[in-house]
Amino acid sequence: MPKKRPEGKLYLVTGGAGFIGSCFVLDCLARKQAAVLNLDKLTYSGNLQNLAAVMDDPRHIFATGDIGDTALVDELLENYAPEAIINFAAESHVDRSIVDPTPFVDANVAGLCSFLGATLRWWRKLPAGQAATFRFLHISTDEVFGSLGPTDPAFTEKTPYAPNSPYSASKAASDHFVRAFHETYGLPTLITNCSNNYGPRQFPEKLIPLVLLNALSGRDIPIYGKGDNVRDWLHVEDHCAAINLTLERGTPGESYNIGGRSERRNLEVIEAICALLDKVRPDPQGHYARLIRHVQDRPGHDRRYAIDCGKIEHELGWKPAHDFTRGLAETVDWYLNNPDWLAAVQSGAYRNWVEKNYHNR
């Protein structure tokens, strides 16, 4: 490794070149909360451009690699002795998991399990004081709880797991391993289960940036089925603030639900993006909503997610700062103001994915 451990606190962040991980890293360094050792495999969704602002910062150390590479993880832990690990690294897209579940098992289950094992071996050798304050925070999703009907109460931390997609099954398995490492070996783990995130730097395979990109390029905007599936949207910065609070004040062995109390039907979200674009980037050909096309539904498509985030609000004092309507408008502006970022992520691999997922829909 080229750089030495900087002075003060240091976090090992995995998946820190992705959408949410990069937001966490940028925020952590901006607030001088801790130095960051950033371990990322740089898969199709890992993007060093997301970290351009901190690549020369001596408090940011970037290591390319897999969380499942035990030799590498052993070396990083020995050399950098982090005060906490925040695990964002994962295969993250439901549609890709439907096309091929195997990479999801490799990264989210087998990779995570090796990573936990390496962490445990290293943690057991720490002096008692350091071992007691160390934290392993695993970032998970509301999708592990399955699907709600229109009037069902929101998911709580006690809702039984019922994953429906290969992605959510792999995340559920990862949560179970994290829990088991706490129950069996006493590793001080925490889990957060968050709803759908939106904001800058999200890879345009996910709904909001995909809609924006397709609208701006005059392509069809694909909506799965009737468009009445409901997601609970949370700004990525609010998610990162909740992760920080959980790290500082959460009780090891516990899980915390995080959500935006902003349930929206997919069609509503798409129409809102089209209306925003009509205002700020009017298309001479007509309203962007003309591009919306109902296409074949996602198999096993979860009907509705909703999160009861009372526990993290009451126990840790978290509250989201972004309102969805304003946050969405700011997000649209970010993509419009960063055409180079948008152009760069549309590599050949991205175009192949779009062709594969949407061609025969």
Active site residues: 142-143, 167
Give, as ranges, the residues between 324 and 343 that touch ligand NAD (CB under 6 A): none
Residue 46 contact, options ligand TDX, ligand NAD, none, Cβ 5-8 Å cut-off depending on partner type: ligand NAD
What's the closest the beta carbon of residue 208 comes to ligand TDX, in angstroms? Answer: 7
- Which range of residues in 104-112, 220-228, 271-279, 341-349 is near ligand TDX by CB under 6 A? 220-228
- Helical packing angle, 207-216 and 324-337, nearest 10°: 50
Dist CA 180 CA 189 (whole Å): 10
Q: Tokens 């080229």, residue?
A: 2
Residue 207 contact, options ligand NAD, ligand TDX, none, Cβ 5-8 Å cut-off depending on partner type: ligand TDX
Which residue, 63 or 221, has its beta carbon nearer to ligand TDX? 221
Among residues 13, 34, 60, 66, which is the contact residue for ligand NAD, using CB under 6 A? Answer: 66
For position 242 contacting ligand NAD by CB under 6 A, the verdict is no
- CA distances for 101 relative to 87, 91, 97, 105, angstroms: 20, 10, 5, 7
Residue 298 DSSP one-character state: P
Q: Tokens 């929206």, residue?
A: 264
What's the closest the beta carbon of residue 196 comes to ligand NAD, in angstroms? Answer: 5
For position 141 contacting ligand TDX by CB under 6 A, the verdict is yes
For position 213 contacting ligand TDX by CB under 6 A, the verdict is no
What's the closest the beta carbon of residue 26 comes to ligand TDX, in angstroms? Answer: 19
What's the closest the beta carbon of residue 303 comes to ligand TDX, in angstroms? Answer: 9
For position 137 contacting ligand TDX by CB under 6 A, the verdict is no
Query: Among the residues of 100-142, which ranges form H helices?
Result: 102-104, 112-123, 128-133
Length of the chain: 361
Residue 66 contact, options ligand NAD, ligand TDX, none, Cβ 5-8 Å cut-off depending on partner type: ligand NAD
Residue 82 contact, options ligand TDX, ligand NAD, none, Cβ 5-8 Å cut-off depending on partner type: none
